[in-house]
Structure 1
Amino acid sequence: MSLKKQLKITFLGTATSTGVPMIGSKNPVRFSEDKRDKRLRASVVISWDDINYVIDCGPDFRQQMLRANIESINGILFTHEHADHIAGFDEIRPYYYRMGDVPIYSDARVLKALEKRYDYIFTKENRYPSAPAVKPTIITEDDVLEFHGVKITPIKVMHGDLPILGYRFGDVAYLTDVKTIPATEKEKLKGLEVLITTALRKESHKTHASLDEALALVEELQPKRAYFSHISELLGFHVDIEKELPENVFLAYDELVVEVN
């Protein structure tokens, strides 16, 4: 039976796929001295008691885990197979050395992409001695999981035309790269304490929600608090955007910690 736990969400990264600032950019955000405008690729770790579950491990994974001082993990949940969400997969090696096979959770399509890109991690024969190993579990939006007393519900969202997974941990939902959400999946998002979702930029985008679309989702779902992530430098300066948001909506930033009682 799921029990009420105090959840802690640590934002490991809050940027879109290029990071913020983007290489070679002339956008004014690049020259900001506000550390909240320096963003690694989007990922979070959700913790309770001594449990840590990471959602996605992009190209900044090693730096993020060192910065957040995450010495142990209980597993990794993947949202989808794009490079900014899986390109740090090999960096799980130190966790493998300590804990053995690392539990990972994804849908079948994402697991196939991981197996292709990181075949040496999944192979059973002639393994490279220092290669990590994993214990994969295939999940779908129809599953309900329970990790150490916390209910986990996968949520199918649409990343443009690509179906991907978000996750609800208790009363916290993490939806990255979302553009639209099927009505049946929105039913799973009622009664949230915290909603974390995408707000890429102010202008419309084919595969990611804009700021106005993210605000409309908050208005529809009515979480007690909302945090926007997967942000492009085109959204603007953190300090300016925060002034435009409702009092219960916040712009997330790297190393932000949010607790939910």
Structure 2
Amino acid sequence: MSYPPIKITFLGTGTSSGVPMIGCDCDVCTSSNKKDNRLRSSIMVETADTTIVVDTTPDFRYQMLRLGVKKIDAIIFTHPHKDHIAGLDDVRAFNYINRKPMEVYCNYLTEEALRRDFYYAFSDTRYPGVPEINLNTITDQPFTINELLIEPVLVWHMKMPVLGFRFGPFTYITDANFIEPAEQQKIKGSEVMVVNALRKEKHISHYNLEEAVALVQELEVPQAYFTHISHQLGLHDVVEKELPKGIHLAFDGLVLHL
């Protein structure tokens, strides 16, 4: 199947606390290297006709401002944790500019969280100016947005089901520490994949650096980028030199063309 050219922009590549972390004086948090400054993890996927954001982090407003984004066709959510949904209120600006509700795609767990946390957007009597949201419930089955085919990949964040997404040659996965063999098959054949690599030490619900490298190599994806990075992983330039060929640390503002 042919797929339109896509542009991927990393809006944020940090873990839930961001980097630098509040109150921390470690070498990473005090680094002058811009690649060590990480907003919470999110990407923007663009084709000639469609712009999609994956997750609205607490930094969503600033992420949109620093790129000068004027239009989003849809938002897709991976899971309901706060560092991935907290910025949804700021779609109000896009409602105003584009004169229409924001199309939002998520699984049932995330839908429950959105209805709870942003209850005022779904109330029968809504205050003027609240976000206008059109919810679309998705499962692990493929779906389309403006004829752009998107294939969910079910992964596990400890005991929580999380959705990764494959856009043609590109697969994006965040907040995972286990992927079942059948779901791994959905990733195989990707030209580029993104996966979380929180730190070097093992973690209860995230891949660590060693596990993320092993996953990429097992799936034989030729090019990979790690995201959802904490200050505990180390300095960007130091860790980058330690990685195998074809594997890199993502950083805020990185752009890929496929």
Correspondence for 2:175: 177
- Shift of residue 218, structure 1, vs aligned partner: 0.5
Q: TM-score, normalised by structure 2?
A: 0.97
- What is the identity, as a one-letter code, of the residue corresponding to 1:114? L
Q: Which residue of 1 aligns with 2:15?
A: 16
1:181, CA displacement in angstroms? 0.3
Matched with 2:38 is 39
Q: Does 1:108 align with 2:132?
A: no
1:258 aligns to 2:256 (yes or no): yes
Distance 1:220 1:96 in 2: 43
1:148 and 1:226 map into 2 onto residues whose CA distance is 27
Cα deviation for residue 148 of structure 1 reads 3.1
Q: Take 2:188 and 2:225, find their aligned partners in 1: how far apart are those partners?
A: 16
- 2:194 maps to 196
Q: Aligned partners of 1:100, 1:179: CA distance in 2, in Å?
A: 37
3-state SS of paired residue (2:216): helix
Q: Which moves more between the two structures, 61-70 or 200-209? A: 61-70
Provide the residue aligned with 1:205 in structure 2: 203
Distance 1:150 1:126 in 2: 34
Q: Which runs of 5+ in 2 are unaligned?
A: none
Could you list the runs of 5+ residues in structure 1 that have no partner in the other structure? Answer: none
Post-superposition CA distance 1:133-167 (Å, at most 9, x none):
111111111x1112334320011100011111111
Equivalence map 1:86-105=2 (5 Å):
86-97=85-96, 98-105=98-105
Matches within 5 A, 1:49-68: 49-68=48-67
Secondary structure of the corresponding residue to residue 85 of structure 1 = helix
Point out 4+ residue stretches in structure 1 off by more than 2 angstroms.
146-150
**RMSD of Structure 2 on Structure 1 (CA):** 1.0
* Deviation, structure 1 residue 109: 1.2
Q: Distance in 2 between matches of 1:53 and 1:59?
A: 17
Amino acid at match of 1:171: P
What is the TM-score when the length of structure 1 is the normalising length? 0.96
1:150, 1:105 → 2: CA distance?
13
Range with greater deviation from structure 2 (144-153 or 179-188) = 144-153
| Aligned residue in 2 for 1:241 | 239
Residue 171 of structure 1 deviates from its aligned partner by: 1.3
Number of aligned residue pairs: 257
For 1:107 and 1:80, the matched residues in 2 are separated by 8
Q: What letter corresponds to residue 46 of structure 1 in structure 2?
A: V
Distance in 2 (alpha carbons) for counterparts of 1:197 and 1:138: 24
Identity rate of aligned residues, in percent? 44
